[in-house]
Amino acid sequence: MAKNKKKQKSFLQQFKKAILILFISSMVYLILCKWIFPPITVTQMVSMINGEGMKREYVSWSSISMNVKLAAIASEDQLFAEHGGFDWKAIEKSIDPPKQRKKKQRALGAAASTITQQTAKNVFLWQGSGWGRYVRKVPELFYTKMIEIIWGKQRIMEVYLNTIEMGTGIYGIEAAAQNYFHKSASKLSAKEAAMIIACLPNPKKFTVIPRSKRVAWRYPQILKQMNNLEGDKDVAELIQ
């Protein structure tokens, strides 16, 4: 009996130690990612394992067209410059009954997830729905808040635009720009930027080229929202 208790105590100590090491390692990695791009993400690894390949070319903030930055904010998170990582109003709307939620999401073209949340998920966690989504929620909340504090808005957007999937096996805006329009991300027009961003949140299904019905319907809406946001001082300062 005493021997079993000793074993249990030893196991718990080892488990706590492993959790602590994991936590410290993840924090060190998070801090490093303020200056370096992630070598690879879970989503990218899965893509390679599934035989989808991985087209990716990281580029700096100054090498990304302001059209792309504005399109991402207009489509994915219009309060990005203002919130602290979470859009609580959008989260409230997403808790509506399924039929109402589905209807609203069709109308708005966006979910409750902010750009910060998507970046935290893309870089540190995993994709997918079902039970895995609920397991992911607590660490997602933690990483979202941490990158808001440690990275800042500009770095969050820079990493987001370099790591998000924008087509089957296509990661980041530079790879997307080269693949779809045969030009660098710095040269993308407002229309081209809106078309690429319109493939989110399901770039495998909502293809840019050939242009899916969803992208054809969505990108003119993004262009309108981009025009509406151009006069916003906070957004203008952020995307410079």
Same domain, 62 and 120: yes
Q: What is the mean pLDDT of the chain?
A: 88
Answer positive or negative: Cα dihedral of 25, 26, 27, 33.
positive
Domain that holds residue 221: 42-239
**pLDDT tens readout for residues 88-117:** 666 666 555 555 544 444 334 445 689 999
Q: Is residue 37 part of a domain?
A: no
Count of structural domains, the chain? 2
Same domain, 125 and 196: yes
Same domain, 54 and 78: yes
CA–CA dist 43, 121 (Å, integer): 10
Same domain, 20 and 118: no
CB 119 within 8 A of CB 80: no
Per DSSP, the three-state class of 82 is coil
The region of weakest confidence among 125-139, 151-165, 223-237 is 125-139
Same domain, 82 and 165: yes
Buried b (16+ CB within 10 A) or exposed e, 160-186: bbbbbbbbebbbbbbbbbebbbeebbb
**pLDDT tens readout for residues 12-48:** 888 888 989 988 999 999 999 999 999 999 999 999 9
